[in-house]
Amino acid sequence: MKTFIPLEVKQNIIAGLVKSGCQKIQVGSFVSSKAIPQMRDTAEITEKLLACYPDTVFFALVPNLHGAKAAQEAGLREVSPVISLSERHNMVNVKKTRAESLAEIRKIREILPELKISQDIATVFGCPFEGTMSVNCLVDLIGKLYDLDIRSFTLCDTVGLAYPELVKKTFGTVKKVFPDAEFGVHIHDTRNMGILNSYTAMKSGADSIQTAVGGMGGCPFAPGASGNTASEDFIYLLDKDGYDTGIDFTTLLETAKYAKKTIPDGTFSGHHVCIPESRTVCVEN
C-alpha cells in the first residue's frame, strides 16, 4: 500500500476486464482515505466508469452508512457492507463491535432502502486473532442479517485458512438453513489452496466465486492475508473443465499481465472475478 495506483491504471485494468466479458465490477471501497489511502479516488473512478460502461453493473464495498451514502451519491445502486464473524477482527477492521456493525447495516437498509445489499462476511473460515470459527455462529450471524431482509452473502476466507472439507460443510449448512438466499465465496490463496477451495465451493452450491486478477489483493487489517486466487488461473480451469464462463481468457490474461506490470508488489489492490452458477461473470475491483 506504499505506492498509489494512478487513476488511469485502474481505469485501464477495468477496461480490460469489461473487454474480456466481465459483466459486474466492484469499483473499489468507499472507506476513509486515512485508513486506506489507495481508495481515495473511488468516487471519481465510479463516476467515470458509469459514464463509459452503461451496460456494466458496478458496486462497491462499504464499511458503514457514510460509505453507503457516498456510493449512492457517486451513482451506484449496489453496495457490499462488511462484517466479520470474528469479534476481534471486526474491531480491527472497521473499529466496531459486531453488534455496532449490525446496527450500521440496519441503518443502511432503513435510510437507503433503494440500495441493493450484497453482504460480505469476513473470517468465516478462520481468524488470525481467534483461530477456528464456528459454523453455528455463522448461521446465527446470517440469521440476524437475514432478518434485515438481506438475501445475498459472500463468505470470505480472509487469511486463507479454508480447506475443502470445511468449505463443503459450511456451504452445505448455510444452503440448507437459508435455501432462498444466495451465497458466494471469496478465497485467499495464502496456502496455495485458492483454486481447490474455490472449485470445491462451486461444486458445493456456491452461487458465485470471487477471484482476483493477477492474484493480487489482501486485507491490510488481517496479519497473513496474502493475495487472492488468480482470476486467470480459475478461468483457465473452468474453460478446460467445460464451463461457459463468458470470459475471453486471452484478454483476461493480458489484463492480468498489465496489472502485475504496472502495480508494484506489496501495493494493496484487488480485482476480483465472480463466477455465478449461471455461467455469466461479474468482477470485483
CA distances, 225 to each of 25, 188, 242, 263 (Å): 22, 7, 31, 18
Catalytic residue, candidates 127, 219, 274, 282: 219
Q: Which three cell numbers stand for residue 93?
A: 477492521
- 85: helix, coil or strand? coil
In the chain, where does DSSP find H-type helix? Answer: 7-20, 42-52, 65-73, 87-94, 98-111, 135-146, 164-177, 194-203, 231-240, 249-262
CB 116 within 8 A of CB 78: yes
Taking every pair of C-alpha atoms in the chain, what is the biggest distance, in angstroms?
46
Q: Is 219 a catalytic residue?
A: yes
SS (H, E, C) 90-141: HHHHHCCCHHHHHHHHHHHHHHCCCCEECEEEECCCCECCCECCCHHHHHHH
CA distances, 4 to each of 246, 266, 267 (Å): 32, 11, 8
Residues annotated as catalytic (active site), given as ranges: 219
